[in-house]
C-alpha cells in the first residue's frame, strides 16, 4: 500500500497542490462533460416532442382518410334487436320482424354401457363424413375422440340410470359447435364406407334416441305484410347484410315489426375533433414548457435564470409555427373558429363542442370537409417533423446522439491524459522532496564537519 508523505522536506501540502493543479487541468474535460449533459437533455426533450408529434400524426391521418368522419349510430325500437353502425353506414331506417333464432343441433343416443366394437364413429355434416376411431369401446374414450376430431361436434356422457341387470348405462349427447341450418349432422356406428353402403347405424334415429334441438338459421322478414315481403336468413343471430355497414343482432322472435334507425353520430365526430385538438395542445405544451426559463440555485447559493432546452431553437420554433398554421389557417375562406376550433392568447387551441355540433347539424358535409382538411394539413406537418427517416426532429436527434458519442470519446481520452498528468506531477513533487531531503542531509553533514574542524582548531 502506497504512503503519501506530504512536504516532509519542503513543508508543502503537495496533495492539495496537485489537486489544485489537476482541477485547472480538468477544465477542458469539465466543459466537455457539461456539453454532454446539455446535449443529452436536448435529446430527451426532442424525443418527447417527437413522440407527441407522431401521436398527433396518427390521429390526423386517421381523420383525414375518405369517409373517416362519416360516422353513424344505430338505434332500435325493440331491446331484443340490437343494431350497430360501422364503416360504410348511411342514414335511413328499416323495419324487421324476427321469425326465428339461429340454433345448433343437439341429439342424444339411446342408453348404452359401451360403444359397439369396433369403436368407430362417423359423423356426417355439411363438411362431409368424418371418420373417428376411439381408443376403445369405452364411452369416455368415444367422447374424447369425438371432441378431438374436426367434425365440429362435441360429445358428452350423461347418466341414464341402470339396465335390467342393475348396471349403469349412459346416453351420449352430441352438439354441433356452430348454429345454423348447415350445422345439422348425423352420427353413425361404423366407418364412412359403411355409411356410404347404407350398413351403418344412425345413432340419433335409433330406437330410444332423439334429436332434441334442430339446427336452424335465424330469419327476419323485411316489409312484412306487403307484396314486397322478403325473408333474410343468417347462420348466426347476427345479420351483417341487411343494411350497408350495419350489424343487427336478434335475441327473441316477434310478431310486431322492429324499427332500426341509422342517423349521423355528431357526438362521435365531435369526439374525433376534440381528440385532435387535445393532441395539438399536447405538442404546444411540450414546446412551451421546454422553452420557458427556470430559476436555478448556483453552487455559491445565488440564483439565476436558466433558459429552457428549446429556447432559441429555430427548428422547434419552425415546427411549432407550421403545426399552428396547419390547424388554424382558413378553409375555403372560413376560419376554423366557425366550427369551434379557436386559437387562444397563450398560443393554445380551444374546442367548443356545442359550437362544433351546431355547425355540424347545420351543414355536416362542410364541417366534415373542413375537419378533414385540417387533419390532412396537420398530418403533412407531422411527417415533415417526425418521419422516422427524414423528419427534422428525427434528424436532429440522430445528429445529437452522434455528438454525444463523440463527446464521450473525448471525455474518455481526457481521463487518460489527466491520469498521466497527475502521475507526472506526483513523480515530479516526489523527486523534489527526495532532492530537498538529500540537500538537507548534505547540509547537515557539512555543518557537522565544519563544527568538528572548529572544535579541533580551538583545542590546539
pLDDT tens column, 199-257: 999 999 999 999 999 999 999 999 999 999 999 999 999 999 999 999 999 999 999 99
In a domain, residue 258? The reply is yes
In a domain, residue 137? The reply is yes
In a domain, residue 17? The reply is no
**Domain co-membership, 282 together with 389:** yes
In a domain, residue 457? The reply is no
In a domain, residue 4? The reply is no
Asked if 239 contacts 218 with a C-beta cutoff of 8 angstroms, the reply is yes
Domain boundary among 195, 213, 231: 213
The number of distinct structural domains making up the chain is 3
d(CA 289, CA 400): 21
Which of 172, 66, 153 is closest to 112 using CA atoms?
172
Q: What is the pLDDT of residues 72-108, one digit of tens each?
A: 999 999 999 999 998 889 999 999 999 999 999 999 9
Which phi-psi region, left, alpha or beta, contains residue 301 (left: φ > 0; alpha: ψ -120 to 50)? Answer: left
**Domain co-membership, 174 together with 85:** no
In a domain, residue 437? The reply is no
Domain boundary among 360, 394, 428: 394
**Domain co-membership, 385 together with 288:** yes
Domain boundary among 355, 373, 394: 394
**Domain co-membership, 271 together with 372:** yes
Angle at CA of residue 111, ends 105 and 115, nearest 5° = 90
Residue 10 is predicted with a pLDDT of 59
**Domain co-membership, 368 together with 308:** yes
d(CA 139, CA 146): 11
Report cis status (omega within 30 of 0) of the bond before 275: no
> 434: Cβ–Cβ under 8 A, 6 or more apart, which residues?
9
d(CA 308, CA 153): 68
Query: Which residues of the chain register pLDDT less than 70?
Result: 1-12, 454-460
**Domain co-membership, 271 together with 351:** yes
The Cβ-side half-sphere exposure at 232, using a 13 Å CA radius, reads 20
- DSSP code at position 427: H
Domain that holds residue 36: 27-66+267-394
**Domain co-membership, 226 together with 93:** yes
**Domain co-membership, 260 together with 273:** no
In a domain, residue 19? The reply is no
Angle at CA of residue 44, ends 40 and 48, nearest 5° = 165
Which of 99, 96, 100, 84 is closest to 180 using CA atoms?
100
**Domain co-membership, 256 together with 290:** no
pTM over 0.85, yes/no: no
Q: What is the dihedral of CA 67, 68, 70, 74, to 10 degrees?
A: 120
Residue 208 is predicted with a pLDDT of 95
- DSSP code at position 336: G
- DSSP code at position 460: -
Residue 460 is predicted with a pLDDT of 55
In a domain, residue 416? The reply is no
Residue 452 is predicted with a pLDDT of 76
Residue 9 is predicted with a pLDDT of 59
Grid cell at residue 186: 348425423
Compute and round to an integer the Cα radius of gyration of the chain: 44
Which of 113, 115, 117, 80 is closest to 99 using CA atoms?
80
> 277: Cβ–Cβ under 8 A, 6 or more apart, which residues?
327, 341, 349, 350, 351
**Domain co-membership, 89 together with 48:** no
Cross-strand pairs, 162: 168
**Domain co-membership, 114 together with 35:** no
**Domain co-membership, 241 together with 320:** no
Which of 190, 54, 182 is closest to 119 using CA atoms?
190
Amino acid at each position: 500500500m502506497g504512503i503519501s508523505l506530504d512536504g516532509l522536506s519542503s513543508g508543502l501540502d503537495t496533495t492539495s497542490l496537485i489537486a489544485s493543479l489537476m482541477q485547472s487541468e480538468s477544465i477542458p474535460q469539465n466543459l466537455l462533460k457539461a456539453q454532454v449533459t446539455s446535449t443529452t437533455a436536448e435529446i430527451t426533450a426532442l424525443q418527447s416532442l417527437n413522440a407527441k408529434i407522431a401521436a398527433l400524426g396518427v390521429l390526423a391521418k386517421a381523420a383525414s382518410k375518405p369517409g373517416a368522419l362519416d360516422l353513424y349510430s344505430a338505434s332500435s325500437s325493440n331491446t331484443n334487436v340490437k343494431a350497430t353502425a360501422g364503416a360504410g353506414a348511411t342514414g335511413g331506417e328499416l323495419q324487421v320482424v324476427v321469425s326465428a333464432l339461429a340454433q345448433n343441433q343437439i341429439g342424444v343416443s339411446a342408453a348404452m354401457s359401451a360403444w359397439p366394437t369396433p369403436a368407430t364413429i362417423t359423423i356426417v355434416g355439411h363438411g362431409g363424413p368424418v371418420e373417428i376411431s376411439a381408443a376403445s369401446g369405452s364411452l369416455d374414450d368415444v367422447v374424447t375422440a369425438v371432441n378431438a376430431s374436426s367434425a365440429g361436434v362435441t360429445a358428452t356422457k350423461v347418466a341414464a340410470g341402470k339396465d335390467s341387470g342393475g348396471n349403469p348405462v349412459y346416453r351420449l349427447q352430441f352438439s354441433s359447435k356452430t348454429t345454423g341450418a348447415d350445422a345439422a349432422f348425423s352420427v353413425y356406428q361404423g366407418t364412412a364406407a359403411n355409411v356410404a353402403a347404407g350398413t351403418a347405424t344412425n345413432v340419433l334415429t335409433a330406437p330410444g334416441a332423439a334429436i332434441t334441438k334442430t339446427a336452424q338459421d335465424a330469419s327476419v322478414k323485411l316489409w312484412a305484410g306487403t307484396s314486397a315481403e322478403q325473408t333474410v336468413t343468417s347462420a348466426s343471430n347476427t345479420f351483417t347484410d341487411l343494411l350497408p355497414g350495419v350489424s343487427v343482432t336478434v335475441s327473441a322472435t316477434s310478431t310486431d315489426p322492429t324499427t332500426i334507425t341509422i342517423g349521423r353520430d355528431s357526438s362521435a365526430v365531435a369526439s374525433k375533433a376534440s381528440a385532435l385538438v387535445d393532441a395539438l395542445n399536447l405538442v404546444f405544451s411540450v414546446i412551451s414548457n421546454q422553452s420557458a426559463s427556470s430559476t436555478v440555485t448556483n453552487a455559491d447559493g445565488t440564483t439565476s435564470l436558466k433558459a429552457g432546452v428549446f429556447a432559441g431553437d429555430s427548428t422547434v420554433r419552425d415546427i411549432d409555427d407550421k403545426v399552428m398554421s396547419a390547424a388554424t389557417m382558413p378553409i375555403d375562406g372560413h376560419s376554423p373558429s366557425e366550427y369551434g376550433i379557436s386559437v387562444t392568447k397563450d398560443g393554445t387551441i380551444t374546442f367548443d363542442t356545442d359550437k362544433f355540433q351546431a355547425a355540424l347539424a347545420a351543414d355536416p358535409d362542410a364541417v366534415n370537409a373542413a375537419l378533414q382538411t385540417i387533419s390532412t394539413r396537420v398530418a403533412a406537418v407531422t411527417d415533415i417533423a417526425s418521419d422516422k427517416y427524414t423528419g427534422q426532429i428525427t434528424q436532429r436527434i440522430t445528429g445529437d446522439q452522434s455528438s454525444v458519442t463523440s463527446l464521450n470519446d473525448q471525455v474518455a481520452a481526457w481521463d487518460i491524459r489527466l491520469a498521466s498528468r497527475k502521475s507526472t506531477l506526483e513523480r515530479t513533487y516526489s523527486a523534489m522532496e527526495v532532492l530537498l531531503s538529500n540537500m538537507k542531509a548534505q547540509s547537515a553533514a557539512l555543518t557537522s564537519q565544519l563544527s568538528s574542524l572548529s572544535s579541533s582548531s580551538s583545542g590546539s
